Chain A
Amino acid sequence: MNQLIPELKQLIIDSLDLEDVKPDDIDAAAPLFGSGGLGLDSIDALELGVAVQKRYQVKLDANSADTRQHFQSVESLAKFISSQRPA
């Protein structure tokens, strides 16, 4: 899971074409959406969901409240992905 965090930061920057953001600028515990974090929007949420599913072959199919929790921060996303992958 620890390698996942820098990998996810880079995936976010590349897949969302974020300018002026370096991996170190992203606080793994900070919210990805809304104010106080990266400030990503609803299209970013959709594109990030698509990119994560493609890269890690995970299936996002819990109910919607859980989906939103997985995408809360880089940390929660890493936790979700590692829980879905075979050990």
Chain B
Amino acid sequence: MSTEGGGARLGSARSQHGRGLLELTDGKAVIVVEGLSRRFGDVTAVNGLSLKIQEGEVFGLLGHNGAGKTTTIRLLTGVLSPHGGEARVLGLDPTRDGPALRGRTGVLTETPALDERLTARENLSYYADLYGVPRHEVPARVEGLLEEFELADRADEPVGRYSKGMRQRLALARALLPGPELLFLDEPTTGLDPVAAREVRELIVRLSGEEGRTVVLCTHNLVEAQRLCHRVGVLEHGRLVALGTPAELVRGLDRGLRVEVELSPGDEGAVGALRGLPGVLEVVEERPGLLGVKVASPRVVPEIAAAVVGAGGRLYRLQPQEPTLEDFYLALHGGKGGR
């Protein structure tokens, strides 16, 4: 897995690579992008994006609405042409080799984009023809996907009668229909119930881990990104402002360790003892009986228990809170860094 970017926030001089990224393709890089830019009028949707994604990697593309995630997908599939920079996807130039490239990729769009007047089977068969799935394989492949996504029972109903979750499952099935080497998934678990969402997450893990497919995951669900992605990149106004593994990014947070301490409400003695404890940076009473304690190091955690008990307090719960990708993301965007 590439560590390009060093797992840190990226400054404006992000593209100082020495050697160009395009020269670094080592046969395992599925996506190599250097200085990719795209404008819409006065708005720069993607601004000097440089990135390398390896085969079998699940890469999370994070960012607010309008940060440039969807435009990036469109550029990498050759649906849009860049105004600057270069890209190689599966060894192809998206602008020049768009049709060939799209034949090897699957895209789950932000909205399911299904024809509601057609049935699920007709929708899939239609796309099988467009993707050039061998004719003799179409019925079995369509049936297999309908079974896999639990749509077989209602495969011959118009999609207009489907629930939001069923449509999302069908759109996912369509993205997998051509057996793509590279998958772009835009909010894949949106609209799914918890069980279906878990199945989709398991599917992504399987596609990447067992089948070696590369997945680019655009999501606002940071818990999901942290759980699934080998690496994430954060886009802000079209610029890549952070890149690395979730662990690397979180490690870079300058916030100490946060510990949740639950004790008897109104136990001022214990609160006072904690405030005076060496290594405790901050004590915040979040609600009666629940304290948020920021400490300098994990070694202080046992001292917290001892201080509360020593002050005659009743300790119900002591829980160190590992910083999450969400903390990092919020900190990056100037929001509240801790929970």
Do A and B bind? Answer: no
